[in-house]
């Protein structure tokens, strides 16, 4: 057994082990969602799970939220760096959330990491991440574009032990609960995360018990190497060259824009993304931590070059990213980063744009990102404080041969819209309108995907809402003559005498009982000239808009 080499690996056994690890990460995700308390996790699925080798490389990732990949990348190495292999014992679990101290990409996403021991040595790690609806900060929901410092965004947690040799670190647990406006939810969600890791640890232990350490690790290493080689071959099918693209997120003040610029160099099976001339970091929380940049790039590149490739660290090796410190895409502390996910939708369009130039047969127009809104206040049914964290999907850009998808998460986003039944059961809100937003996708040979309209009636007396968005000022761009997508909107009391458009970013706007908030998410850009649209597609457009 000690003389095994990569040439001795049974390909069938390799596939069995690889699929076992993916199934384990999915089992962890199912455990987390079925045992969580908050609608954000159990209904929207705003969580992710992964398996790592002993060195901290991702070997399997459940297909949940691509953005969470940014929180997973490097988190195990940060735990090892902080505690050392000799300082980690069976039954330990580590918690982290701070993007500037090895914890993730924004504070509401809490990582829980566990070592897997076999024959008294660490052979792997498992981890999960869950978006907590409130972990303190200046705004309920702990995420608002108006925040100007990470200290306003909630409690910051470097890698620390939440479980010590199998026992809950109650002191740390209590500190976290005290900083949340909804501690009862936090108890349930954190314990669900702990339960998910128990499931993962047990399953990975069984894998090593069946195949042994040497054979299992050799197969995992070979599988990562295979993934790297497969993705490199996909890159080699594209001619070498250099391509550039620019797009903009909202700046610090109304009407201001901040530039994201990318230069892609394709060179002998490698992709090199250079963001060094992107604008300096801004004051508001639209900055993107570098690991979130990596997650977006990895996700968009996978979708363009090889969508079915295994989701592991093997193909990450083929991608290099350059970004100057202190820029939007590599901010330094204490820059606020809470709303990085909506900014990453624009970043994803930039990445898609340079890949479109390199691969015009797989072109993708600009997309409409989700809009974020957080209702909070006293629930009259329970006389307790609630926080309803929600995001609502926009429309994807058109492809070179197909209309854009309607009402869908784009690029690295992945959680679902909160189902109406779950929403109205838990919160003092009523959804009175929920439909596709007609004509929001750009017009062209292939139209952009449509966004969504959703109206919320307020059923409480002291409810406020915080708003964060992109693509309310800068639309998703069409390509090759295709029209741009419609911009998004937040509207107070639509169709009433006091109707008014609300800012694209705001915190704690009063919403009196009976008032209505309308969310109109942006549409995707189109591909090609409208005059080239087929008669069948035009007829379908008319039928869908009746």
Q: pLDDT tens digits, residue range 53-62?
A: 999 999 998 8
Q: Is 464 helix (H, G, I), strand (E, B) or coil?
A: strand
Q: pLDDT tens digits, residue range 203-243?
A: 999 999 999 999 999 999 999 999 999 999 999 999 999 99
The chain-wide mean pLDDT, for the chain, equals: 94
Q: pLDDT tens digits, residue range 180-194?
A: 999 999 999 999 999
- From 176, 193, 228, the end of a domain falls on 228
- From 198, 228, 258, the end of a domain falls on 228
* Residue 516: C-alpha distances to residues 278, 312, 457, 493 (Å): 38, 44, 5, 5
As a whole number of angstroms, the distance between CA 245 and CA 247 comes to 7
Helix spans in 272-414 (H): 290-305, 340-358
CB 35 within 8 A of CB 198: no
- From 228, 244, 276, the end of a domain falls on 228
Residue 324 lies in a domain: no
CB 509 within 8 A of CB 456: no
7 pLDDT tier (thresholds 50, 70, 90) = low
CB 52 within 8 A of CB 116: no
The predicted pLDDT at position 60 comes to 92
Q: pLDDT tens digits, residue range 12-27?
A: 898 999 999 999 999 9
As a whole number of angstroms, the distance between CA 201 and CA 285 comes to 36
CB 51 within 8 A of CB 58: yes
Task: Tell me 527's DSSP state.
Answer: B
Number of domains in the chain: 2
Averaged pLDDT for residues 493-514: 97
Residue 332 lies in a domain: no
For 19, the domain range is 6-228
Tokens of 491: 């509207």
371-379 and 384-392 beta bridge pairing: antiparallel
The predicted pLDDT at position 254 comes to 80
61 membership: H or E segment, kind and range: strand 58-61
Q: Which string of b and e fits 288-308 if b means at least 16 CB within 10 Å?
A: bbbbbbbbbbbbbbbbbbbee
Residue 241 burial by CB count (10 A; 0-12/13-18/19+): exposed, middle or buried? exposed
* Residue 377: C-alpha distances to residues 47, 339, 407 (Å): 25, 21, 28
Side-by-side strand order, sheet with 384-392: 384-392, 371-379, 463-468, 506-511
Residue 285 lies in a domain: no
143 Cα distance to chain centroid: 14
Residue 319 lies in a domain: no
Task: Tell me 409's DSSP state.
Answer: -
Residue 253 lies in a domain: no
CB 393 within 8 A of CB 417: yes
Q: Is 151 helix (H, G, I), strand (E, B) or coil?
A: helix
Q: Point out which residues pair with 387 in neighbouring strands.
A: 376
441 pLDDT tier (thresholds 50, 70, 90) = very high
The predicted pLDDT at position 1 comes to 39
Q: Which of 409, 302, 264, 287 is nearest to 337 (CA)?
A: 287
Residue 292 lies in a domain: no
In the predicted structure, residue 274 carries a pLDDT above the cut 90? yes
In the predicted structure, residue 437 carries a pLDDT above the cut 70? yes
The predicted pLDDT at position 521 comes to 98
In the predicted structure, residue 416 carries a pLDDT above the cut 80? yes
As a whole number of angstroms, the distance between CA 484 and CA 526 comes to 6
Residue 119 lies in a domain: yes
Q: Which of 287, 346, 299 is nearest to 485 (CA)?
A: 346
Domain co-membership, 220 together with 367:
no
Q: pLDDT tens digits, residue range 304-339?
A: 999 999 889 999 999 999 999 999 999 999 999 999
Q: pLDDT tens digits, residue range 24-37?
A: 999 999 999 999 99
Residue 213 lies in a domain: yes
């Amino acid at each position: 057994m000690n003389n095994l080499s990569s040439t001795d690996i049974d390909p069938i056994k390799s596939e069995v082990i690889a699929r076992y690890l993916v199934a384990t990460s999915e089992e962890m995700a199912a455990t987390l969602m079925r045992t969580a308390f908050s609608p954000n996790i159990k209904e929207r699925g705003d969580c992710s799970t992964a398996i790592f080798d002993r060195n901290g490389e991702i070997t399997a990732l459940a297909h949940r939220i691509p953005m969470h990949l940014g929180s997973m990348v490097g988190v195990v190495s940060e735990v090892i760096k902080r505690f050392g292999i000799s300082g980690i014992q069976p039954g330990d679990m580590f918690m982290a959330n701070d993007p500037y101290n090895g914890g993730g990409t924004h504070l509401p996403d809490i990582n829980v990491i566990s070592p897997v021991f076999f024959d008294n040595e660490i052979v792997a790690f498992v981890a999960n991440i869950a978006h907590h609806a409130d972990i303190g900060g200046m705004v309920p929901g702990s995420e608002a574009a108006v925040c100007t410092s990470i200290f306003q965004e909630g409690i910051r947690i470097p890698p620390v032990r939440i479980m010590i040799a199998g026992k809950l670190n109650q002191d740390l647990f209590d500190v976290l609960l005290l900083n949340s406006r909804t501690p009862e939810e936090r108890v349930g969600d954190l314990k669900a995360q702990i339960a998910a890791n128990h499931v993962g640890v047990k399953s990975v232990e069984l894998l090593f018990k069946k195949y042994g350490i040497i054979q299992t690790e050799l197969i995992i290493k070979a599988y990562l190497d295979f993934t790297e080689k497969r993705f490199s071959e996909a890159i080699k099918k594209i001619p070498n060259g250099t391509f550039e693209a620019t797009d903009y997120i909202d700046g610090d003040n109304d009407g201001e824009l901040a530039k994201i610029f990318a230069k892609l160099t394709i060179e002998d099976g490698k992709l090199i993304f250079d963001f060094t001339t992107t604008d300096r970091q801004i004051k508001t929380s639209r900055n993107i931590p570098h690991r979130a940049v990596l997650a977006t790039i990895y996700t968009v590149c996978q979708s363009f070059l090889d969508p079915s490739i295994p989701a592991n660290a093997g193909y990450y090796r083929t991608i290099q990213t350059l970004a100057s410190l202190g820029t939007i895409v590599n901010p330094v502390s204490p820059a606020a980063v809470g709303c990085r996910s909506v900014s990453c939708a624009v970043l994803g369009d930039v990445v898609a744009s340079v890949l479109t130039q390199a691969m015009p047969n797989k072109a993708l127009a600009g997309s409409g990102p989700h809009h974020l809104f957080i209702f909070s206040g006293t629930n009259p049914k329970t006389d307790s404080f609630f926080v309803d964290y929600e995001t609502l999907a926009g429309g994807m850009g058109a492809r070179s041969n197909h209309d854009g998808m309607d009402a869908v998460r784009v690029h690295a986003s992945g959680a679902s819209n909160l189902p109406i039944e779950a929403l109205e059961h838990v919160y003092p809100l009523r959804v009175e309108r929920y439909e596709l937003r007609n004509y929001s996708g750009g017009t062209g040979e292939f139209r952009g995907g449509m966004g969504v309209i959703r109206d919320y009636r307020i059923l409480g007396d002291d409810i406020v809402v915080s708003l964060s968005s992109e693509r309310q000022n800068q639309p998703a761009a069409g390509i090759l003559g295709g029209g741009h997508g419609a911009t998004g909107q937040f509207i107070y009391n639509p169709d009433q005498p006091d109707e008014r458009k609300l800012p694209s970013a705001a915190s704690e706007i009063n919403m009196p009982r009976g008032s209505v908030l309308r969310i109109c998410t942006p549409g995707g850009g189109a591909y090609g000239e409208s005059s080239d649209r087929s008669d069948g597609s035009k007829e379908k457009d008319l039928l869908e808009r009746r």
